[in-house]
Amino acid sequence: MSSGASGRRTAGAALAALVALVSGLAWPAGESRPDRRPNVIVVLTDDQRWDGFGAMPWLTTELARADSGWMTFPNAFANTPLCCPARASLLTGRYARHTGVLDNDDGGNLDESSTLATWLHGAGYRTGLVGKYLNRYPFGRLPYVPPGWDRFVAKRNQSGVTVYRDFHAVDQGSPVFVQEYATDWLGEKAVEFVRTTPSTRPFFLLFGPSAPHPPWIPAARHEGTYADLSVDEPPNVAGTLRGAPPWVRSRPEPSAAQRAAWLADQRRADETLLAVDEALHAIVETLAERLDDTYIFVLSDNGYSFGEHRWEGKKCPYDACVRIPLAVHSPGGEGGERPPVVSIVDLAPTIMSFAGVSSPAAFDGQPFAAWIEPRTSSLLGPRNQVVSLEWVGDAEIPAWTAVRTAGFKLIRYGDGLEELYDIGGRIGEPDPWEMVNRVADPRYTEILARLRRLLGQQPGPG
């Protein structure tokens, strides 16, 4: 962001502070006091790998400081590893099969009258969305502002060439065309929302930059930053996969040139995250003293496979697709890692817990607020031990359901074929890359039965 923009923000913040001070002095004695409920910011990236925080230097520094209030949840997952279903689940705390948003063409099925935006707005929060909303918005209709949003700036991803520049957006219902670098333009809008929200009113901001979605075009100032970065190829790209399903086995083994291209793409994807890191930093700086009253969640809608299991993209049941990064800033929390297994459907109930707002809808997820604020007994919920994962299926990857614990994963396809992975090495050798299917291994009979019960289905013919 330019120094001129920074100066304008500083001047604007000073003016806002002066106005607030004068207004505060002028309040009649009988007026209600400012609303001290916490603010909530969700930074939702697009297709970021679970280990992608290493490409964000400011956030990495904050995560390393024990007194920063930042913590990580390394066992975090996308229930459906595809953009639109994941975003609908975040807004509702419900699985894709319950939102009706099963793939990227289904955004119009979401009941927009019952989301985080409507619940928090109805409870007095100022609400804002800046960035990506749901794929295909406005769903063949005229541009509009969905219910519950006080500030709505939605970026439209109409093709690959518009992901980072020269894109259309909807600003408070009005179409606009933007030529600037997307993350910078959206970052300025997010900063503006934070800066202009009165200090007497709590707010909820969903900031959704497009990075690091393909085609991985970094800001000009970041081009080549990671060109010489050493990137390790995961062993499941070209290694032996024992017990892999037919859809994986039928895919060709990648050539040396393809494998090199995947590594280069990872570097460019990381370069796009540098602008996200700068935007996050700018938002935090704009918060100033309000940071002490603000929860910040940084996560991705899904992961991305750069050749793992011979697959590029998302939708797959493996950790490359379903595992996501998750960092949380808490005003009263401490740094470090948190152990529970959590997923995107857990975000809405967690946010509602912090806001002290009751939801009129039933959640599929459960709050993990107690892991963020362990001293707040009123937020205690059941310990998160397992997450449910699903994909409706298409011509590339068949339908599957799965359960994931901290140490194991059971996948079942529509035809009953199963895969079992001992990710944590609880019984056999650790298999974090999901390369050895243990479903026929007699040592796993007991854990297989337990996971099948969790999956809620009888074992199939596989």
**Amino acid 449: pLDDT:** 96
**Amino acid 382: pLDDT:** 47
Rounded distance between C-alpha atoms, residue 81 and residue 316, angstroms: 7
Q: Which residues contact 253 (CB under 8 A, 6 or more apart)?
A: 238, 310
**Amino acid 34: pLDDT:** 77
Q: For the chain, which residues score pLDDT lower than 70?
A: 1-33, 374-384, 457-462
Rounded distance between C-alpha atoms, residue 53 and residue 327, angstroms: 9
**Amino acid 104: pLDDT:** 97
Q: Please provide the distance, in angstroms rounded to a whole number, between the alpha carbons at the two ends of the chain.
A: 55
> What domains appear along the chain, each with residue ranges and CATH number?
37-384 (3.40.720.10), 407-455 (no CATH)
Rounded distance between C-alpha atoms, residue 453 and residue 451, angstroms: 5
**Amino acid 457: pLDDT:** 56
Q: Which residues contact 83 (CB under 8 A, 6 or more apart)?
A: 46, 47, 104, 132, 135, 301, 302, 314
Residue among 180, 191, 205 at smallest CA distance from 129: 205
The structure tokens 């599957």 sit at 400
Residue among 369, 367, 406, 402 at smallest CA distance from 388: 402
Q: Which residues contact 24 (CB under 8 A, 6 or more apart)?
A: none
How high does pLDDT run on average in the chain? 90
Rounded distance between C-alpha atoms, residue 307 and residue 258, angstroms: 9
Rounded distance between C-alpha atoms, residue 462 and residue 440, angstroms: 10
Structure tokens, 424:
């944590």
Phi, psi of 257 (to 5 degrees): -65, -40
Rounded distance between C-alpha atoms, residue 338 and residue 357, angstroms: 25
Q: Which helix (H) or strand (E) holds 85?
A: helix 83-92
Q: Which residues contact 377 (CB under 8 A, 6 or more apart)?
A: none
Taking only the tens place, the pLDDT of each residue in 69-95 is 999 999 999 999 999 999 999 999 999
User: Within 10 A of 215 (CB to CB), how many other CB atoms are there?
Assistant: 12
Radius of gyration for the chain, computed over Cα atoms and rounded to the nearest angstrom: 22
**Amino acid 379: pLDDT:** 41
Please report how the helices 57-64 and 256-287 are oriented relative to each other, as an axis angle in degrees rounded to 10. Answer: 70
The structure tokens 């793409």 sit at 265
Residue among 115, 123, 71 at smallest CA distance from 93: 115
Taking only the tens place, the pLDDT of each residue in 264-295 is 999 999 999 999 999 999 999 999 999 999 99
- Cβ atoms of residues 421 and 436 within 8 Å: yes
